[in-house]
Amino acid sequence: MIEKNSFPDWQQVFNSIFDLVAFVKSDGTIFYCNQRFAEFLNKDLASIIGQKCHSLVHGTDAFLENCPLIRSLKSGKRETWELKEKENYFSIVVDPIKDSQGKIIGFIQIMRDITEQKKVEEALKENLERYKFISELISDYAYAFKVTAEGKLVGEWITDSFTKVFGFTREEIDQRGGWQSMVYPEDLPIALEHAKKGNKWTC
């Protein structure tokens, strides 16, 4: 059990958040932020307070087009955005802060570094492009699918020859009920068992 007096104060908790967090006024003026946000900007906290977020983060004199803060000001709801800054990719979430009458008095902005996630997405994209290139070179039909945790076969790619032989595109197979619909019912348990061994099956 944690003693009340030993629990960290709110400042310690706030600065322990790994994401970049800032409280911002409607005109973009920062009136508070956590240590992680200051480290990202390579500035001390005192020098950040009172500065415009778009000036500090983007180096601009005005809000960027499609800025989630401006969109949140108009919608009164959470707005999100993805952008690249300083060679890193960030997911930005902006939530409005409202008074008791429902009037927006500021925003909380959270920036999360998603650089590694974007790298994985790019790698997957490259693999899919490679599969497509291979499929255009070979005349035999080939396909690849993965098995979900629920045991469902989910198609990832097929060659043009597969479509010519069976008459279905990958999208049409999904509409039919997925890859299970392409397997004889008595053979399905064997196919699933074989596929689950590697969680992905390519033929």
Cα dihedral 191, 194, 199, 200, rounded to 10, equals -70
Instruction: Give me the sign of the Cα torsion angle 153, 157, 160, 161.
Output: negative
Amino acid 1: pLDDT = 46
List of residues 6+ apart from 66 with CB closer than 8 A: 81
What is the distance between the alpha carbons of residues 102 and 176, in angstroms, rounded to a whole number?
48
Determine the pLDDT at residue 170. Answer: 75
Which pLDDT band holds residue 193 (cuts at 50, 70, 90)?
Answer: confident
Contacts of 60 (CB under 8 A, 6+ apart): 54
pLDDT (average), residues 180-199:
70
The first and second tokens of residue 190, run together, are 């064997």
